[in-house]
Chains A and B, each alone.
Chain A
Amino acid sequence: MDSALLWSIIGGFVVLGVLAYAAAALSAAMSARESGTSAVAALTLPGQETARLLIRQRSVTPGADTLLARIGTGLLPLAALMSVLVIPLGQHAISDLSVGVVWFNAMEVLAWAAVWMVGWGSNSSWGLVGANRFLAQGLAYELPHMFALITAAVGAGSLRVSDIAAVQGLPGHLWFVVYMPAAFLVFLLSALGFAFWGPFDQPIGREIAGGAAAELSGIDRLLLLAGRYLLLTAGAAMSVPLFLGGGAGPLLPAGAWILLKTAAVLAVLVWIGHRVPAVRMERFTEVSWLVLLPLTILQALAVSIFVLVGWM
């Protein structure tokens, strides 16, 4: 392997990791403020939690399918790392595939398998309920999510993530968020969904004793929690080349703009998670299929017409 590629992989993963830690720290600080304790002191909490989990005994329930559950916990952070291969974090993506959008979608769908395997494999009622909740959630967000992704690809006439970002930087072109606001909002919703964050965190909900994560301890729990923040970060990072003009912006270099925009979207996602109560899938599926799905189809239709007429 040539060393430039190696360094770009290391660099990309480090940036992703730092952003994910920042998201966890921001969430911890917001929680501390809500509890009336020091927000600054809470910034180190994710690190302290990592230390705690590293030395904890793994927990095994009788009859657990340990192999399945452990593949699941490992798969979650892996899916996030793989998805970020096609996302430019800094100047270039690690591997700018010609089907980058499809690759991102496929990696994000791995989260379905991962969470379900964890919940089922732990042989606990709470885990089972949490795992199946995540499948229901996937059914609700995935189709609108796919239409949102494809709308951006249609707008640029390419599935390559760097092409999509580049089109938005051309003179006479606006950021895609202007042409396709509905697709952008649906994409953010589904980023919350596949990272089971905020209003969509019921698969590991408090009221089912932690759901899919109920029986996890030690390194297993660490991987699941880390995977969750990495996925959220990957979602935020992907929204920048798709809808927010990639590296386009005045004064600063493109890499800096990408990082700034990613951090801003990530902060908004974390904030939403604290300010909006959970949405029960039983009720959300209706909205998702009857409102969001037609909305994203109409959005894709509108963008297709724009492209044909030559407006974008």
Chain B
Amino acid sequence: MDLTARLLALGVPHPFVITAPGFTAVRLAVEQQIRERGWSEALSPADADMLVLCGSGGKEFGAVAGRVWEQLPAPRTRTLVPDPDAASACLDAAVAALRDLEGLRRLEVDRPDAAPMDMDMAGSDSDKTGMDMDMDMELPGGLPMADRGADRDGLKLDQLHLVLGPALSDWPSGLVVRLVLQGDVAQRAGISVLDGAADGPPISSFWADLIGEAAQSEPIEHVELVNAAAAADSLQRFLNVAGWPSAARIVRRLRDELLAGAAHPAARSRAIDPRSRRWLRAVGRSRVLRWSVAGLGQLGPGQLDDGVPLTLVGDVTARVLRWVDDIAVVLDPVSTDAREAVVTSRAASARAALTVLPHLLVGQELAAVRLIVASLDPDIEALQAHAAAPRKSDG
């Protein structure tokens, strides 16, 4: 065994996970596997050695996955996880491929060295701010220079076109936001969503279906449990965006425990780690977090013609504390004040969120853009499932 193979065997994989619309269940299973194996997710293709595709989507999703794959440095491997039960086996196979030196070398034989890449990759730049250059100079990488436009103070400034999503960590699956930035302030924001596979089954919404099932069959606590799991999923994503990965790891684990509890009600009470309660209280009370995000993305109840859903009213902090409360209802049923149950369908709040997003994002700097999107966390899947079956109630 040569040195390369030995070093290869030592490394812990850094998977880059992309989720197709309609495959939240697969994402949750993959994230749980990654957590339990002690891996850490790559934040960018450059750091990743394993591309994990959760489900397959339409043409656009395939193109994005292809462009991300091109950017993974060697050694690399890719895997497609078609359904939640396959997650463990797929990741096992991917690790085996990542340890197989001969296979890896064969894979890279045909790879063109430093190939000109399509720079319209999700989350990379399609344009570049830059120095004021003469046009006869050779342009870096043959890329076009930045356009200029008037900014809000009437100055001519370079414009940077940045595409957020769909291949971006801690980002709502299927959402694409096209920003025009000057400096790091968004001047324009365009919203679109990824379609599902044209020939595949219609998109179903994981959370909406689960909540719907829980509402029909079980006692009321069951609905609360599923709601709490959904809130924990949104909250862990937000905490990562807000720069508190430690709390995000705790809440991600809590989400998995809540989901396990929802699947097996008998095992519920012992499944939850007591430290989660302490952390959740710490998140709810953190002054630094509130101070850092307060006042962003303010939404009044009357801001939309057909009203803003109650779950979205307020600023970033208000929406995040609502998730904390949703979880606290399950963890600390005694100490939590009795609240009015706010029932808003996930599809309706996703639709409202997408409608207000362009207005909320304009004039914000990039960090604020990400915080606002994370605090709204539109469930694209629920929206698409609702559109596909308009008569069906989606909980």
Contact = CB atoms under 8 A, between A and B. Distances in A.
* A and B together in one complex: yes
Interface of A: 30-32, 34-38, 41-42, 45, 47-49, 51-52, 54-65, 123-126, 128-129, 132, 199, 201-202, 205-210, 213-218, 221, 274-280, 282-283
Contact of A34 (B184, B240, B250, B374): B250
B384 interface: no
Contacts of A276: 244, 288
A35 B112 CA distance: 39
Contacts of A275: 246
20 contacts: A34-B250, A36-B36, A37-B35, A49-B11, A51-B10, A54-B7, A62-B143, A64-B141, A123-B125, A126-B44, A201-B243, A205-B243, A206-B43, A206-B169, A210-B43, A214-B43, A217-B73, A277-B239, A277-B288, A282-B367
Interface string B28-62: 00000001111010011011010000000000000
B298 interface: no
Interface of B: 4, 7-8, 10-12, 14, 35-38, 40, 43-44, 46-47, 49, 71, 73-75, 114, 116-117, 119, 123-125, 128-129, 139-143, 160, 162, 168-170, 184, 239-247, 249-250, 252-253, 273, 286, 288-289, 291-293, 365-367, 370-371, 374
B208 to A, nearest CB: 27
A206 B7 contact: no
B10 A48 contact: yes
A212 to B, nearest CB: 11
Contacts of B246: 30-31, 34, 274-275
A270 B164 CA distance: 31
Contacts of B123: 126, 209
Contacts of A61: 117, 124, 141
A216 B43 CA distance: 11
Contact of B141 (A62, A132, A207): A62
Given A199-B288, A206-B245, A275-B246, A56 B142 contact: no
A7 to B, nearest CB: 29
Contacts of A62: 116-117, 119, 140-143
Contacts of B44: 126, 209-210, 214-215
B148 to A, nearest CB: 17
A277 B11 contact: no
Given A57-B75, A206-B169, 20 more contacts: A31-B40, A34-B253, A35-B38, A37-B36, A47-B10, A51-B10, A52-B12, A55-B8, A56-B49, A62-B117, A63-B139, A65-B140, A206-B243, A207-B371, A210-B43, A210-B44, A217-B73, A221-B46, A274-B246, A280-B293
A51 to B, nearest CB: 4
Nearest to A211: B43
Given A31-B249, A35-B253, A275-B246, A55 B289 contact: no
A81 B181 CA distance: 38
B292 to A, nearest CB: 5
Contacts of B11: 48-49, 51-52, 55
B242 A209 contact: no
A126 B366 CA distance: 10
Most interface-central of A213, A218, A277 (chain B CB within 10 A): A277
A62 B142 CA distance: 8
A48 B37 CA distance: 14
Contacts of B247: 277
A181 B38 CA distance: 39
B349 to A, nearest CB: 22
Contact of A59 (B71, B162, B241): B71
B168 A209 contact: yes
B43 A209 contact: yes
Contacts of A128: 129
Contact of A132 (B114, B184, B240): B184
Contacts of B35: 35-37
Contacts of B4: 55
B74 to A, nearest CB: 4
Given A62-B142, A63-B142, A209-B44, A277 B244 contact: yes
Contacts of B366: 129, 208
A123 B75 contact: no
Contacts of A60: 114
Nearest to A220: B46
B7 A55 contact: yes
A59 B73 contact: yes
B367 A209 contact: no
Given A51-B7, A278-B243, A63 B140 contact: yes
A61 B141 CA distance: 9
A214 B46 CA distance: 7
Contact of B125 (A58, A125, A280): A125
Contacts of B367: 202, 205, 207-208, 280, 282
Contact of A279 (B140, B288, B370): B288
B170 A207 contact: yes
Closest 5 pairs (CB-CB, A-B): A278-B243, A63-B141, A52-B11, A63-B140, A62-B141
A199 to B, nearest CB: 7
A39 to B, nearest CB: 10
A47 B286 CA distance: 34
Nearest to B13: A52
A128 B47 CA distance: 17
A129 B179 CA distance: 14
A47 B289 CA distance: 33
B116 to A, nearest CB: 6
A35 B251 CA distance: 9
A280 B291 CA distance: 9
A51 B9 CA distance: 9
B291 A283 contact: yes
B184 A42 contact: no
B235 to A, nearest CB: 13
B46 A36 contact: no
A277 B38 contact: no
A143 B141 CA distance: 38
B122 to A, nearest CB: 10
Nearest to A273: B246
A234 to B, nearest CB: 23
B240 A207 contact: yes
B38 A42 contact: yes
